[in-house]
Structures are given as structure tokens and as C-alpha cells.
Amino acid sequence: MPELPEVEVSRLGITPHVLQQRVKAVRVWFPTLRWPIPETVQLLQGEEIVAIRRRAKYLLLDCVHGTLIIHLGMSGKLHVLPTEAPRQKHDHFELELENGYSLRLNDARRFGAVLWQALDETHVLLASLGPEPLTDDFDGARLFALSRGKATPVKSFIMDNAIVVGVGNIYANEALFATGIDPRRAAGKVSKARYQRLADVIKVVLARAIQQGGTTLKDFTQADGKPGYFKQELAVYGRAGEPCLNCETIIKQVRIGQRNSFYCPKCQR
């Protein structure tokens, strides 16, 4: 599933082609994605895209009447290409722009979403989200305060979007390894000093992944079709049975919160 860095890379990739462009047409080829695409998305027709933002893993395209919300789901990709380019299999939604290009959502598994947020309203999916991890609103003090008394594994805790948004499975594994914290440890048993270190590392890991263009595993490519390169830097994710890069102990794999989790039994405690 595309995580925060992949979504941010997609935002950066489409912005030069889509921002301040007027929408000539809105086409819905397959209206039933994760949720039905509402007819209100047609309000974009004739309007200028005045801002392109990201909130957690949601892309937000603003116009004067409201905001188009796009979620890439498990396999969704956004492509900017000439409008006359043939429609591809699994192309479900298109914004035709006045510059002769179109923004298309391609989603083989159809777990993505195209939704609408009216002006001066907050969509229910955005209403309860925690702070962005790359802002000053997220720090170790917040993690420490919200974790007190919690027996949930620390990995699940930092992946909770009410705590902080966008720390997906790949980057949670990597950040916990870099800070030497066992992903199975109870969130309430992690010290304030270690949480401060963890918050700092999360920022570094996510920023580095954005810089490298995200992490290509199976499905993700950038808006221009190029793969992300952060996979080359993964220290533990997907490396079960291989030696730790620090101590050569064999990396172990467990299931935490129905997600594959990877850790070094010697380096992480």
C-alpha cells in the first residue's frame, strides 16, 4: 500500500502539471471504488485547481467550491498524460485539464477512493486525524503522554492515525529498528527519552523516503512512472532470515496487528 512518502511524491509529481489548471471535463469510468464516487465531483468541471495538498495519505485538490479527495488505496497510481492517450485497463477516473493533459487514477484492486469535501466542511475521513509527522506538532512528548498505561505494542501505537498520521508499516519497522526499540514492547513501557528519539527518527526516515522517491515494492511508481528508490535503504523490512546489518543476528518476523513486522532480537529491546 502506498504510504505517506509515496503519496507525497505523487503530490509533488502532479503539482507542476495540475496546479492552476482549469478542469475541462470530469470523467468517471468506474464509479464504485472503495466507496462510490459521488456525483458532486462534477463541481470541479470548469473550475481552477487552486491548491494541491496532502493530509495523511489523502491527496486534496482544492477549487473554490470544495476539495476533491483522492486516496490511492492498495495499488492506486496517478498519471499525468496527454488527454488523447488511450485509456488503460484499470483507469477509473480522469480530470481533463485545459493544458491538454489529464490526471488519471489507475487502480487495479479498486481499494482507492475519489470523494468530495464541500467548502468549509471537513470530511469524516479527515476529522479525527492526528498531527502530520513532519511538523512541529509531532514530537516525543506527544508520544510519551498518549502512551501512558497502554499495553498495545509500540508499533501499533505509532501506526494509529489518531496518534500521528502516515507512519505506515514499512516506515514503522524501519524507525523502530533505527532507535533500537522492539516493536512488540508495550507502548506504555517506552521511556520519554526513547520516544523523543523515535519521533526524531520517524521524521528523518520519512523525509529520506520522500527524497528518494518513495519505496517501490510491488505496485508503487511515481506520477511519471519512475520507481521509488528507498527500498535500497531498508534495514529490516522484508529481510526476515537475513543477517542484521548492525550485528549479523538473523532478522525475525512476527505478526503485530495483522501486519508483518521485522526486528533484530539483539539490537531491539
Q: How far apart are alpha carbons 88 and 77 in whole angstroms?
A: 12
User: Are β-strands 101-106 and 113-118 bridged in parallel, bridged antiparallel, or unpaired?
Assistant: unpaired
Report, as an integer, the average pLDDT of 144-173. Answer: 96
Could you give the C-alpha distances from 192 to 142, 188, 189, in angstroms and in order?
9, 10, 10
Q: Is 27 a catalytic residue?
A: no
Do residue 40 and residue 83 come from a single domain? yes
Tell me which of 93-107, 153-167, 230-244 is least confident: 230-244
198 pLDDT higher than 80? yes
Helix (H) or strand (E) holding 8: helix 4-18
Whole-number Å distance between alpha carbons of 164 and 139: 10
Which residue's C-alpha cell is 514492547?
185
My answer on whether 155 and 62 are in the same domain is: no
Backbone φ/ψ region at 118: left (φ over 0), alpha (ψ -120 to 50), beta = beta
Domain boundary among 118, 152, 175: 118
Is 150 annotated among the ligand-binding residues?
yes
Domain assignment present for 126: no
The last residue of one of the domains, among 71, 87, 118, is 118
Q: Measured on CA atoms in the order 195, 141, 154, 138, is the torsion positive or negative?
A: negative
How far apart (Å, rounded) are the C-alpha atoms in residues 28 and 89?
Answer: 14
Residue located via cell numbers 463541481: 43
Q: Does the structure show a pLDDT above 50 at 220? A: no
The CATH number of the domain holding residue 77 is 3.20.190.10
pLDDT value for 73: 92
Check 11, 54, 57, 77 and give the catalytic one. 57
What pLDDT score does 155 carry?
A: 98
Does residue 220 sit within a domain? yes
In a domain, 99, yes or no: yes
Mean pLDDT of the chain: 92
Same domain membership, residue 160 and residue 95:
no
The tens digit of pLDDT for each residue in 16-39 reads 999 999 999 999 999 999 999 999
Active-site residue (options: 184, 208, 252, 259): 259
Active site residue 57: yes
Residue numbers of the domain that contains 248: 140-263
Query: Quick one: 145 and 250 in the same domain?
Result: yes
**Whole-model pTM above 0.85?**
yes
How many independent structural domains does the chain possess? 2
β-sheet bridge partners, residue 96: 25, 102
Residue 269 inside a domain? The answer is no
Answer yes or no: is pLDDT of 243 > 90: yes
Q: Residue 133: pLDDT above 50?
A: yes
Catalytic residue among 3, 8, 47, 174: 3
Q: Is 46 in the same domain as 90?
A: yes
pLDDT recorded at residue 221: 47
Catalytic one of 2, 5, 133, 183: 2
Active-site residue, 183 included: no
Q: Does 109 share its domain with 149?
A: no
As beta bridge partners, residue 91 has: 106
pLDDT on residue 214: 52
From the CB of residue 232, how many other CB atoms can be counted at a distance below 10 Å? 9
Q: Specify whether 66 is located in the same domain as 171.
A: no
Look at the alpha carbons of 15, 19, 24, 25 in this order and tell me if their dihedral is positive or negative: positive
Q: Is residue 107 domain-shared with residue 12, that is, in the same domain?
A: yes
Rounded Cα–Cα distance for residues 61 and 112 (Å): 16
194 and 83, same domain (yes or no): no
The CATH number of residue 207's host domain is 1.10.8.50
Indicate if 3 belongs to the active site. Answer: yes
Give a yes or no: residue 133 inside a domain. no
Asked whether residue 75 falls in the same domain as residue 170, the answer is no
Could you tell me if residue 27 is inside a domain? yes
- 36 located within any domain: yes
Q: Which of 59, 87, 118 is the last residue of a domain?
A: 118
pLDDT at 229: 42
Q: Say if 191 falls within a structural domain.
A: yes
Q: State whether 109 and 184 are in the same domain.
A: no
Q: Quick check: 228 pLDDT over 60?
A: no
Q: Does residue 150 sit in the same domain as residue 240?
A: yes
Check whether 109 is labelled as a binding-site residue: yes
